[in-house]
């Protein structure tokens, strides 16, 4: 008889649908690819049994209430939910779920969060002293609320001992594939990935899909206006000296103000803007690399290569092959 690997996925109102169904599909396909030998048993558990309406409006059924879970678990999987506010998405942290996760985690061989579920693990104290990831849009919130956690917004997933954290939304499937590879070997995981038409291991991290410039600029209107100017003049002189001159500040004072308001240096910010623009052109045009580099302010193809390697760990040609939307 195959070993049973019991996986409990937490569900609650407004949970992200794919955070639940994505991993469940991966584990189900692992069972199919091994003729049932994988032994994955997926159960949904919520504050109470029965119907749960997800953020997508699709309803799920919790197999068990929290009180009914009991016993030893192979994997406890914790998805998340967000509240949409004017300043952007904010991860929701429900104390009842946090307390149950905290009490149940010791019964599991491994514990994992997907997307903003990392905020629930952090609130339960399970990420203290550990490196963790979450969806890029709430990474700053996680770092601010839990300074004992080393938050890295770029990886698709992070493993720290028995605790795994996954990045944004579809990355839940990358996380589940990595678990299948650990349990059953990469050959089985690759077979599942092929069925899903996915890479077994993505190149690069979350930053290739996020918009690193979406964060609010803070309290200073002049910095917000400067950000707009940068986005509209990426091909021009955006050196720290030129930007400081535009702000009528000394270069040193400008650098301090800019970092305080945006959380990064002027040079890093400008590079991120230019990489974002280059990505759009690589995805949507056949523009030669020399013209594309010039249009985005890189000056040379070599500089474009270095920036993409640094920011998203790939080359312009490789990025274009994988993400081109034109035919």
pLDDT in tens, 43-78: 999 999 999 999 999 999 999 999 999 988 999 999
Is 214 among the domain residues? no
25 or 212, which is more confident? 25
**Structure confidence at residue 210 (pLDDT):** 47
Residue 156 confidence (pLDDT): 83
State pLDDT tens for residues 251-290.
Answer: 999 999 998 888 889 999 999 889 988 988 887 788 999 9
Full residue range of the structural domain in which residue 23 is found: 5-206
Examine the domain organization and report whether 71 and 128 are in the same domain: yes
Q: What does pTM read for this prediction?
A: 0.68
CA–CA gap between residue 18 and residue 42 (Å, rounded): 15
Mean per-residue pLDDT over the chain, rounded: 89
pLDDT for position 215: 47
Catalytic residue among 18, 60, 98, 115: 115
196 and 225, same domain (yes or no): no
Confidence at residue 327, expressed as pLDDT on a 0 to 100 scale: 44
Number of domains in the chain: 2
Residues 98 and 225 in one domain: no
200 shares its domain with 225: no
Residue entry with tokens 């050196």: 239
Same domain, 63 and 186: yes
Could you tell me if 202 and 244 lie in one domain? Answer: no
Please check whether residues 142 and 253 belong to one and the same domain.
no
Is residue 115 among the annotated active site residues?
A: yes
CATH code for the domain of 100: 3.40.50.880
Same domain as 178, residue 96: yes
pLDDT at 211 over 50: no
Residue 206 has pLDDT above 80, yes or no: no
Same domain membership, residue 228 and residue 201: no
Residues 311 and 274 in one domain: yes
Q: What is the mean pLDDT of residues 6-24?
A: 97
Tell which of 144, 179, 206 closes a domain. Answer: 206
**φ and ψ at residue 40, rounded to 5 degrees:** -75, 130
Q: Among 14, 263, 13, 247, which Cα is nearest to 140's?
A: 263
């Amino acid at each position: 008889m195959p070993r049973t690997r019991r996986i409990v996925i937490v569900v609650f109102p407004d949970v992200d649908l794919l955070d639940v169904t994505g991993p469940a599909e991966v584990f189900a396909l692992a069972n199919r690819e091994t003729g049932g030998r994988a032994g994955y048993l997926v159960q949904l558990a919520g504050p109470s049994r029965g119907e749960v309406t997800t953020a997508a409006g699709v309803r799920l059924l919790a197999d068990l209430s929290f009180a009914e879970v009991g016993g030893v678990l192979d994997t406890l999987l914790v998805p998340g939910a967000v509240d949409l506010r004017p300043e952007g998405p904010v991860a929701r942290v429900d104390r009842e779920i946090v307390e149950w996760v905290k009490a149940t985690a010791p019964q599991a061989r491994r514990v994992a969060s997907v997307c903003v579920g990392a905020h629930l693990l952090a609130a339960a104290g399970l990420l203290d002293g550990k490196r963790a990831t979450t969806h890029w849009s709430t990474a700053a919130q996680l770092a601010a609320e839990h300074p004992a956690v080393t938050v890295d917004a770029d990886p698709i997933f992070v493993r720290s001992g028995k605790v795994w954290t996954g990045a944004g939304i579809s990355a839940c499937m990358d996380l589940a594939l990595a678990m299948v590879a650990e349990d059953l070997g990469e050959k089985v995981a690759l077979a599942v990935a092929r069925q899903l038409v996915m890479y077994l291991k993505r190149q690069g991290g979350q930053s290739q899909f996020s918009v690193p410039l979406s964060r609010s600029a803070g309290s200073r209107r002049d910095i917000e206006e400067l950000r707009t100017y940068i986005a509209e003049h990426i091909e021009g002189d955006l050196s720290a000296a030129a930007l400081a001159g535009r702000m009528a500040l000394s270069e040193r004072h400008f650098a301090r103000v800019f970092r305080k308001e945006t959380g990064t240096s002027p040079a890093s910010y400008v590079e991120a803007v230019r990489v974002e623009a280059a990505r759009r052109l690589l995805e949507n045009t056949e523009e030669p690399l020399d013209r594309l580099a010039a249009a985005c302010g890189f000056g040379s193809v070599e500089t474009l290569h270095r920036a993409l390697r640094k920011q998203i760990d790939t080359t312009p040609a490789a990025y274009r092959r994988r993400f081109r939307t034109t035919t």
